[in-house]
Amino acid sequence: MTNNKQIIEGLYQNMSERNLSKVLPALDEHLKIWVPKSLPFGGEFLGREGFIAMVSKINQTWEYLKIAYLHYYLSEEISADQLLVQGKMLGKAFQADESYSFHFINQWRLRDNRIIEHRVFVDDTFELLHYLNKHTGNPSNLFHNH
């Protein structure tokens, strides 16, 4: 039987290979995703369609985005449904000359071997926005109020 860490490791691997057909089966049809709304690819996304919409927004923002490293933090309970992943991404926005790296934490929640929740936390959203806005010419998200 596949454990939660293996499912998330597979998701990262398939995402890095841009193999969406292998990612979608791991997602619950009622999946909920939260990405900081101030980011160009941020918002609340629901279900597999929401996941595809989020990936589309990411692909519109970044020319490339690669994982530099990942660290997994598992609950001490065998039956725990949550997993935290701390990592570093390296990416380059469209029209940028230089790449940018940032740290993140992804919080995952699974049930019956399917991902039911995903929350994204970025270490310095302001600096990330500064980099993205510098290259997109769109400062509208910099001080977005909700």
Q: Check if the beta carbon of residue 53 is closer than 8 Å to that of residue 62.
A: no
**What CA–CA distance (Å, rounded) separates 98 from 91?**
9
pLDDT at 77: 64
Q: Is residue 144 part of a domain?
A: no
In a domain, residue 141? The reply is no
Q: What pLDDT, on a 0 to 100 scale, did the predictor assign at position 79?
A: 56
Count of domains observed in the chain: 1
What residues have CB less than 8 Å from 64, skipping those under 6 apart? 91, 92
* CATH number reported for the structural domain that contains residue 71 in this entry: 3.10.450.50
Considering the domain boundaries, does residue 52 fall inside one? yes
Structural domain boundaries enclosing 60: 4-136
pLDDT at 144: 42
Segments of the chain scoring below 50 in pLDDT: 139-146
pLDDT of residue 140: 44
| H-state helical runs in the chain | 4-16, 20-23, 47-61, 125-136
Q: Is residue 143 part of a domain?
A: no
